[in-house]
Structure 1
Amino acid sequence: MKVKVGVVQDYPVFFDREKTLDKMESILSDNAGHGYQLLVFPESFIPGYPRGFTFGASVGKRSEAGKDLYAEYHDQSVDLKGNALKRLEELSRAYQTYLVVGITERSAEHGSLFCSMVYISPTSGLLGVHRKIKPTGTERVIWSEASGEDLVTFDTEIGKLGGLICWENYMPLARMAMYQKGIEIYIAPTADARESWVASMRHIALEGRCFVLGCNQHITRSMIPERYHDMLTEEEEEMCPGGSVIVSPSGEVLAGPLWNSTGIVSAIIDLDEIARQKLDFDVNGHYSRKDIFEFRVDKQPDIYNEKKPPNG
């Protein structure tokens, strides 16, 4: 089965949920005639990955200005029981495109924020949500940790979808949690713009014998509203050059990496290629050595069939 996929390398309207949704709609409209069956948007695209912001936090101290900014960020984050989700579902349905979107999610249960990605089907709406199980570095100031129940995968009409966010992809056991579900399209939104990240995407494709969609942002200082500039720690104009890429199960780069500009990295992927590559190596099959190794993930759900009720 062949699927046309696209990785959107762009920037949001910081920190404005509704205007970012407007921008997403514009991107979808501009590309409506290109036949995309799946489009992936970057890490925390709604309402923006807060690169360079400290939120006034240091060890043993938080500033009032930082708390004010956090409150604004919290307010503009996505409640999955609110109108933002409904609009994402409407966009997916209107353009007949699966959407995987990086969001900062506001938890209705206890108020914390999570770095999440939502999976939206054009026919079934919200399939589910993956919440980052380990925020990196000072991300821990603003984002909470999720658990095994958020290591989700989905069996859809375009293949088995799943993935991890940013440096979760450096966690071998988290990757194995994805592989053991038979993932075919592995989605990896990130804020890591180093050239070495592309090597990691190629490694994951070879290790999991799956297609890997690495999605990053392209952000310059001038793209962030001037009223926030005094709060930024980064003074350079180029803040994130991107590097979005699509890799085949043989580790071949099919498209990208895209540097220093916005755009959509796209490819037509053939899911039959996965079985061909598993002749050489199958991490969950003849290379798993289950007679030696035992692997268990606490609370990880079974793969969701698109027609079954999802988590989230």
Structure 2
Amino acid sequence: MSTKFIAAVVQAAPVLFDLEKTLAKTADLVTAAASKGAKLALFPEAFISAYPRGLSFGTVVGSRSAEGRETWSRYWNSSIEVPSKATERLGKMAKNSNLFLVIGVNEKDTVSGTMYCTMLYFSPKGELMGKHRKLKPTAAERVIWGEGDGSTLSTFSTSLGRMGGLICWENYMPMARMAMYQKGIQLYLAPTADSRESWQGTLRHIALEGRCFVLGCNQFVTKEMYPKDLQGIQDLETQPKLMSRGGSVIVSPMGEVLAGPLWNEEGILTAEIDLDEVAKSKLDFDVIGHYARNDIFDLSVKNQPEIREMDKPKN
């Protein structure tokens, strides 16, 4: 089995608040990534169907507005259930392009009425392998997203390597990162909405700390992309024309930037991933091995799922 393959990070915007058009755009982007030879394609946080940057949903401390509830309703209706016909379509995209597809979605729980910021994993066979729900939404995100739990700290052992990841500022949670490292992660996926320069340092640190490949992926979004008839659109009056400038990047286990960062445009970055580099990088540092000091430290994670064996050839 070859240890080398092409990975892609897709920096783009959805068709904001429009599920059908976003799914159609996603299909085109998956095909484009495959045409570049990608066997793994990562999409940004909340790509289906919006990261609602700049919107208040009519909320202030102590009150909510009727207009804000209309904004929420439209956001809810452009999100997806898991599983559903929408996830079946995403699975077919992965199968048709023969790649692993990992994509950020707004997941609606129609029983509880809660929405989650979720990362979905699809195999080249079109199977929904699993999902990860963001453990801790940041700041005002807590108005719109519920909290995930340890049962979705998902990691998958695949023909490309052991993959998993965390969403945006979850990656600032040391224990959450360590939970991923404990599973021997080799392909660390970090979709985000953070386009700050400081985020680049975070991704390089994770690569060096975990001795893993890190794929960071963000949206490129302008104010003009928001639907003009969106309730609450006036919230954007004080926002800049460029809402998210991107910054997608691929980093090696030694902290070397292999592709990107990509700024101020949509695009697909690719890089050759060689899993042999993971083993080489651990000569002098292995966070769960000879640097772990298990005689001193112990991390226990509640409700953590087992590593799933996916799409691996049988001996």
Q: Structures share a fold, TM > 0.5?
A: yes
Q: Which residue of 2 aligns with 1:93?
A: 95
Report if aligned partners of 1:124, 1:307 keep a CA contact under 8 Å in 2: no
- CA distance in 1 between counterparts of 2:99 and 2:35 reads 12
SS in 2 for 1:264: strand
Report if aligned partners of 2:34, 2:99 keep a CA contact under 8 Å in 1: no
Residue 294 in 1 paired to residue 311 in 2? no
Q: CA deviation at 1:24?
A: 0.9
- The more displaced of 31-40 and 206-215 is 31-40
- CA distance in 2 between counterparts of 1:303 and 1:196 reads 31
- CA distance in 1 between counterparts of 2:246 and 2:284 reads 32
Which letter does structure 2 place at the counterpart of 1:126?
L
Gaps of 5+ in 1: none
Q: Which residue of 1 aligns with 2:140?
A: 138
Q: 1:215 is matched with which residue: 214, 217, 237?
A: 217
Q: 1:168 is matched with which residue: 167, 170, 176?
A: 170
Distance 1:223 1:124, change over 3 A: closer
- The more displaced of 228-237 and 97-106 is 228-237
SS in 1 for 2:216: strand
Report if aligned partners of 1:54, 1:232 keep a CA contact under 8 Å in 2: no
Q: CA deviation at 1:157?
A: 1.1
Q: Which residue of 2 aligns with 1:119?
A: 121
Residue 6 in 1 paired to residue 2 in 2? no
Matches within 5 A, 1:52-63: 52-63=54-65
Report if aligned partners of 1:132, 1:164 keep a CA contact under 8 Å in 2: yes
- CA distance in 1 between counterparts of 2:184 and 2:30 reads 29
- CA distance in 1 between counterparts of 2:308 and 2:130 reads 9
TM-score w.r.t. length of structure 1 = 0.96
Which letter does structure 1 place at the counterpart of 2:170?
E
Residue 78 in 1 paired to residue 80 in 2? yes
Report if aligned partners of 1:14, 1:225 keep a CA contact under 8 Å in 2: yes
Q: CA deviation at 1:28?
A: 2.5
CA shift digits 1:40-83 (9 cap, x unpaired): 01000001100001100111100000011111111211101321
Report if aligned partners of 1:52, 1:233 keep a CA contact under 8 Å in 2: no
Report if aligned partners of 1:43, 1:101 keep a CA contact under 8 Å in 2: yes
Q: Which residue of 1 aligns with 2:274?
A: 270
Q: Which residue of 2 aligns with 1:49?
A: 51
Report if aligned partners of 1:53, 1:233 keep a CA contact under 8 Å in 2: no
- The more displaced of 234-243 and 24-33 is 24-33
Q: CA deviation at 1:195?
A: 0.4
Gaps of 5+ in 2: none
Report if aligned partners of 2:9, 2:217 keep a CA contact under 8 Å in 1: yes
Q: CA deviation at 1:29?
A: 2.9
Residue 236 in 1 paired to residue 236 in 2? no
- CA distance in 2 between counterparts of 1:167 and 1:74 reads 23
Which letter does structure 2 place at the counterpart of 1:137?
A
Which letter does structure 2 place at the counterpart of 1:237?
K
Report if aligned partners of 1:209, 1:274 keep a CA contact under 8 Å in 2: yes
- CA distance in 1 between counterparts of 2:209 and 2:65 reads 44
CA shift digits 1:264-290 (9 cap, x unpaired): 111011011000000110000000000
SS in 1 for 2:249: strand
Which letter does structure 2 place at the counterpart of 1:83?
K
Aligned pair count?
A: 308
- CA distance in 2 between counterparts of 1:199 and 1:287 reads 22
Which letter does structure 1 place at the counterpart of 2:41?
L
Q: CA deviation at 1:84?
A: 0.4
SS in 1 for 2:229: helix
SS in 1 for 2:38: coil
- CA distance in 1 between counterparts of 2:90 and 2:7 reads 18
CA RMSD, Structure 1 to Structure 2 (Å): 1.3
CA shift digits 1:207-253 (9 cap, x unpaired): 00000000011111112222233242643101111100100000001
- CA distance in 2 between counterparts of 1:202 and 1:233 reads 35
CA shift digits 1:168-206 (9 cap, x unpaired): 000000000000000000000111100010000000000
SS in 2 for 1:37: strand
Q: 2:205 is matched with which residue: 186, 203, 206?
A: 203
Distance 1:233 1:43, change over 3 A: farther
- CA distance in 2 between counterparts of 1:164 and 1:4 reads 21
